[in-house]
């Protein structure tokens, strides 16, 4: 039996709460596991609680760069207490969109590096936010292990994609790929062993998705699109992505 993976989704977001039992049942029916990433300390606790409801939820704890004011020591403490139950660290990273000056960006870097060190200590994969910061991410990650690191929602140039491949990163593509030619081109140039798929729900998608909030049930459509680009069957692509997801997760 082949399992599909959503490599990056915020299932513990309040938007999903009213329908969470329906979503979990759907995941079981569609054979989808979810890397459920977190935004901050409180949300990390919610993610861990959600994972207790279903073994299809793979909990990632962390601090998003938007929430860099949070204390990384609390995430480290949470990891120390729950390391056997935590699947990874995320969502972590850098994003100048959320800074008002140099000190804010330095704070993001501090939090990012603290949580990267935590991931290495506990041998956990990391899910990285890299919007408008890929080159800084690359520079920082030269000091850390990248073989279980995911650049989620990869949106760099072809040159940056090659750099990511050279450094051993995984990269993920989401529903935007279904209607965006530039994302399809990037996928076609990605090392097949480093491709993952995601939804990043509950973010909303335009075009064919009519601004609907991202749902984990979109994953089969993303896989189908990827199969066409890779010139493989749906089943072949599903097997490839399952292997890649397990490699990313270290299982």
pLDDT of residue 205: 87
Residues whose CB is less than 8 angstroms from the CB of residue 198 and which lie 6 or more positions away in sequence, other chains included: 6, 7, 8, 9, 35, 152, 153, 172, 173, 174, 222
Span 4-249 CATH architecture:
Alpha-Beta Barrel (3.20)
pTM for this predicted structure: 0.97
Structure confidence by residue, pLDDT tens digits, 72-130: 999 999 999 999 999 999 999 999 999 999 999 999 999 999 999 999 999 999 999 99
Please state, in angstroms and rounded to a whole number, the distance separating the CA atoms of residues 231 and 225.
10
Which of these, 226, 98, 91, lies nearest to 150 by C-alpha position?
A: 91
Helix axes 72-82, 41-51, angle to 10 degrees: 20
Please, which residues bridge with residue 92 across strands? 128
Both tokens of residue 42?
A: 């409180």
Structure confidence by residue, pLDDT tens digits, 147-189: 999 999 999 999 999 999 999 999 999 999 999 999 999 999 9
pLDDT at 232 over 80: yes
Structure confidence by residue, pLDDT tens digits, 36-78: 999 999 999 999 999 999 999 999 999 999 999 999 999 999 9
The rounded mean pLDDT for the chain is: 97
Q: Rounded mean pLDDT of 12-21?
A: 97
Please, which residues bridge with residue 172 across strands? 196
Please, which residues bridge with residue 151 across strands? 128, 171
Give the residue extent of every domain in the chain. Answer: 4-249
Please state, in angstroms and rounded to a whole number, the distance separating the CA atoms of residues 5 and 246.
9
Q: In 3-state terms, what secondary structure has residue 119?
A: helix
Cα dihedral sign, 158-221-192-91? positive
Element (H, E) at 245: helix 234-249
pLDDT of residue 110: 98
- Any idea how long the chain is? 251
Whether the ω angle into residue 91 lies within 30 degrees of 0, i.e. cis, is: yes
Give percent above pLDDT 70 in the chain.
Answer: 100
pLDDT of residue 212: 81
Q: Rounded mean pLDDT of 210-226?
A: 93
Please, which residues bridge with residue 173 across strands? 197
Q: Rounded mean pLDDT of 228-239?
A: 98
Please state, in angstroms and rounded to a whole number, the distance separating the CA atoms of residues 21 and 41.
23
């Amino acid at each position: 039996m082949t399992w599909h993976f959503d490599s990056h989704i915020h299932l513990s977001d309040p938007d999903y709460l009213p329908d969470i039992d329906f979503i979990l049942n759907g995941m079981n029916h569609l054979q989808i596991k979810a890397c459920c990433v977190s935004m901050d300390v409180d949300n990390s606790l919610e993610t861990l609680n959600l994972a207790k409801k279903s073994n299809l939820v793979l909990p990632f704890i962390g601090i998003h760069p938007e929430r860099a004011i949070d204390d990384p020591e609390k995430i480290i403490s949470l990891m120390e207490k729950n390391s056997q139950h935590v699947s990874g660290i995320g969502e972590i990273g850098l994003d100048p969109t959320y800074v008002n000056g140099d000190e804010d960006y330095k704070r993001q870097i501090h939090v990012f590096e603290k949580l990267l060190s935590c991931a290495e200590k506990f041998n956990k994969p990391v899910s990285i936010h890299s919007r408008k910061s890929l080159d800084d991410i690359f520079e920082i990650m030269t000091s850390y292990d990248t073989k279980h690191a995911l650049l989620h929602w990869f949106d760099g140039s072809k040159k940056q994609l090659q750099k990511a491949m050279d450094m051993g990163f995984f990269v993920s593509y989401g529903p935007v790929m279904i209607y965006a030619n530039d994302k399809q081109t990037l996928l076609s140039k990605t090392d097949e062993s480093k491709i993952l798929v995601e939804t990043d729900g509950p973010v909303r998608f335009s075009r064919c998705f009519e601004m609907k909030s991202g749902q984990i049930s979109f994953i089969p459509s993303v896989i189908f699109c990827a199969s066409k680009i890779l010139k493989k069957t749906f089943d072949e692509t599903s097997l490839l992505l399952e292997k890649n997801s397990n490699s990313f997760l270290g299982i």
